[in-house]
Amino acid sequence: MTDRQPGFDTLQIHAGANPDPATGARQVPIYQSTAFVFRDADHAAALFNLQEVGWIYSRLTNPTVAALAERIVALEGGVGGICCSSGHAAQIMALFPLMMPGNNVVASSRLYGGTYTQLTQTIKRFGWGSKLVDFDDLDAVRAAIDEDTRAIFCESIANPGGYITDLDAIAKIADEAGLPLIVDNTSASPYLCNPIKHGATLVVHSTTKYLTGNGTVTGGALVDSGKFDWGASGKFPSLAAPEPAYHGLNFYEALGSMAFTFHSIAVGLRDLGMTMNPQGAHYTLMGIESLSLRMEKHVANAQKVAAWLEADDRIETVTYAGLESSPYYDRVERICPRGAGALFTFAIKGGYENCVKLIDSMELFSHVANLGDARSLVIHPASTTHRQLSDEQRAAAGAAPNVVRVSIGIEDPDDIIADLDQALTKALA
């Protein structure tokens, strides 16, 4: 091509996907191999010394998985990245080079229930801590940062409520504190939101969701903006000081903007083993080829369904940010200019019991613990994804007992509305 920068629709098909040099295969092959033959002893040594890029062992690098990582990096506008076994793995991989025992991460209180538990409970086993605050309260975010804070974490479109984070404001706080901002962009996808353009340092995804788009395979991705100075503060020795876990290499000194990516491969994937399998990567590569088309349909359907729900007197509230009544409506054009996504919640009259009746009455919607599928999905967070939280924590996360979460699919919107209508009629009979 010319020097023209390819558009999103072109990148989602072509990035990372040159014809296979051995066979000419147009689609990225599934390299189902655990290991790759070295040309000679010097070649092997150069790979392990990070002097040459290539294939060693599929726990570290694999051509199919690398093609997927390259495509996601291109769509997010980063310089490097990796793919791993799940979205939760990607979150741990993002924190792993940054944190030491005694360090903490400041995170939004509006998070997916599993992430909430990961940050408040699981990471304690590593000696890490977390402080969860309302990210709409910028003073509270600033106040939560202390000398041991090593990262700030949020979701671009928060799960389950679909709340849109003011990434520009949070990035400014992160910059003032000299800290990396990690943004989970799962609910938006890179088509709706580009966190790096708003100041994010690292972007994580559950590729299981919109990127794959068909509910077939789990996976995660981590993208580095390449813009953070890891050596400025002395707070990130794994990246900007001799790393004892890799022959004393100073990754930032040796690799510059690619330091985080290479550390994630050479140390993170090597030792944590959170590896994506090549067949799973292939499914996601195929899914991404239609990402923009699907997201446009998801958003259009969600807008129509949310407006219908808001006008129904059986519904108490609808959280969709694309509605003019939403307190996040003004952020849509700035943070997610192509639309507010397709994930939101609504509260129905009658509370917990009626939510259960509603879900049991659904016919088109699938009752599953997933989102971002081509199909419309529904779940009751208070009894499932957010069950482990206290009542106060559930309320703060937008998962009160009378709340149902929907992920609007790409079916005919009138059929989606008809299913909601009949289920509401049965639930509130």
Supply the DSSP symbol for 80.
Answer: E
Give the pLDDT of residue 115: 93
Least confident range of 174-183, 271-280, 389-398, 401-410:
389-398
- What residues contact 191, with CB distance under 8 A and at least 6 apart? 8, 12, 75, 291, 292, 295, 338
Is 369 in contact with 377 (CB distance < 8 Å)? no
Least confident range of 169-183, 226-240, 326-340, 390-404:
390-404
**What's phi and psi for 266, nearest 5 deg?**
-70, -30
Q: Average pLDDT for residues 159-172, to the nearest whole number? A: 95
Q: Is 314 exposed, middle or buried (0-12, 13-18, 19+ CB in 10 A)?
A: middle
- What is the b/e burial string over 254-265, where b = at least 16 CB atoms within 10 angstroms of the residue's CB? ebebbbbbbbbb
- Residue-wise pLDDT for 307-330, tens only, equals 999 999 999 999 999 999 999 999
CB atoms within 10 A of CB 147: 7
Give the pLDDT of residue 71: 98
Give the pLDDT of residue 382: 77
Domain locations along the chain? 8-287, 291-427
- The percent of residues in the chain predicted with pLDDT above 90, rounded, is 86
Residue 281 to residue 287: CA distance in whole angstroms: 10
- Higher-scoring residue by pLDDT: 400, 74: 74
Give the pLDDT of residue 429: 84
21 pLDDT exceeds 90?
Answer: no
pTM value is: 0.95
Is 208 in contact with 370 (CB distance < 8 Å)? yes
Q: What does the angle CA 171 – CA 177 – CA 179 come to, to the nearest 5 degrees?
A: 65
Is 404 in contact with 380 (CB distance < 8 Å)? yes
Residue 399 to residue 385: CA distance in whole angstroms: 9
Give the pLDDT of residue 370: 92
The two tokens of residue 390 are 């206290």
Crossing angle of helices 113-120/87-95, nearest 10°? Answer: 30
1 pLDDT exceeds 60?
Answer: no
- Residue-wise pLDDT for 273-319, tens only, equals 999 999 999 999 999 999 999 999 999 999 999 999 999 999 999 99
- Residue-wise pLDDT for 333-378, tens only, equals 999 999 999 999 999 988 888 888 999 999 999 999 999 999 999 9
Give the pLDDT of residue 20: 83
- Residue-wise pLDDT for 55-77, tens only, equals 999 999 999 999 999 999 999 99
Give the pLDDT of residue 389: 66
Query: Would you tell me which CATH number, out of the four given (3.40.640.10, 3.80.10.10, 3.40.50.720, 3.30.365.10), belongs to the domain 8-287?
Result: 3.40.640.10
Q: Average pLDDT for residues 255-260, to the nearest whole number? A: 97
The reply to whether 8-287 and 291-427 are identical in fold is: no
Give the pLDDT of residue 224: 98
- Residue-wise pLDDT for 202-246, tens only, equals 999 999 999 999 999 999 999 999 999 999 999 999 999 999 999
Query: Would you tell me which CATH number, out of the four given (3.30.465.10, 3.40.50.1820, 3.30.300.30, 3.90.1150.10), belongs to the domain 291-427?
Result: 3.90.1150.10
Give the pLDDT of residue 353: 86
- The percent of residues in the chain predicted with pLDDT above 70, rounded, is 96
Pairing of strands 149-155, 343-348: unpaired
Give the pLDDT of residue 387: 64
Extract the runs of DSSP E, i.e. beta strands, from 101-256.
Answer: 104-108, 129-133, 149-155, 181-184, 202-206, 220-224
**What's phi and psi for 191, nearest 5 deg?**
-70, -35
Q: CA distances (Å), 9 to each of 13, 15, 337, in order?
A: 7, 10, 16
Q: Give start and end residues of each alpha helix (H) in 157-273.
A: 167-177, 189-192, 237-240, 251-255, 259-263, 270-272
Q: Average pLDDT for residues 258-269, to the nearest whole number? A: 97
Q: What does the angle CA 126 – CA 128 – CA 132 come to, to the nearest 5 degrees?
A: 135
- Residue-wise pLDDT for 404-419, tens only, equals 999 999 999 999 999 9
AA identity, residue 298: H
Is 417 in contact with 376 (CB distance < 8 Å)? no
